[in-house]
Homo-oligomer: A and B are copies of this chain.
């Protein structure tokens, strides 16, 4: 029940917040603020773009969603289900796949330690061409 998540974050339960969180859960994928705005408009919801940006940032602070900065120039958001993962992005069709590799995670910790960094976060994105016929060529 996503309403409880919103409340736990110290935020009031409002229609825009419920709509946005529900959409992200339903969609499952990686949506930009503009994506969220357009989809909600198409579904007949009345919502402002500023509200979408504001709510997504609040959800990020609250740990409800995770922000990803791919090369596209705009941030995309996905539900934070608690399991960290990295991304593979197809440069042709934009498909995003997720992966988690224990070896890489461990090495990162070691590298941060070697450099005297206390690791806070990391972003690993592999860019390439997926195996769809129209993408694999190039």
A125 close to B123 (CB less than 8 A): yes
Q: CA separation between A104 and B104, bound complex, in Å?
A: 5
- The stretch from A8-16, A25-33, A38-46, A95-103 touching chain B is A95-103
Copies per complex of this chain = 2
Q: CA separation between A113 and B119, bound complex, in Å?
A: 28
A111 close to B136 (CB less than 8 A): no
**Taking the complex as formed, is A71 at the interface, i.e. its CB lies under 8 A from any CB of chain B?**
yes
A117 close to B112 (CB less than 8 A): no
Chain B residue nearest to A102 (CB atoms) is B107
A residues bordering B, Cβ < 8 Å?
69, 71, 88, 90-91, 97, 99, 101, 103-104, 107-108, 111-112, 115-131, 136
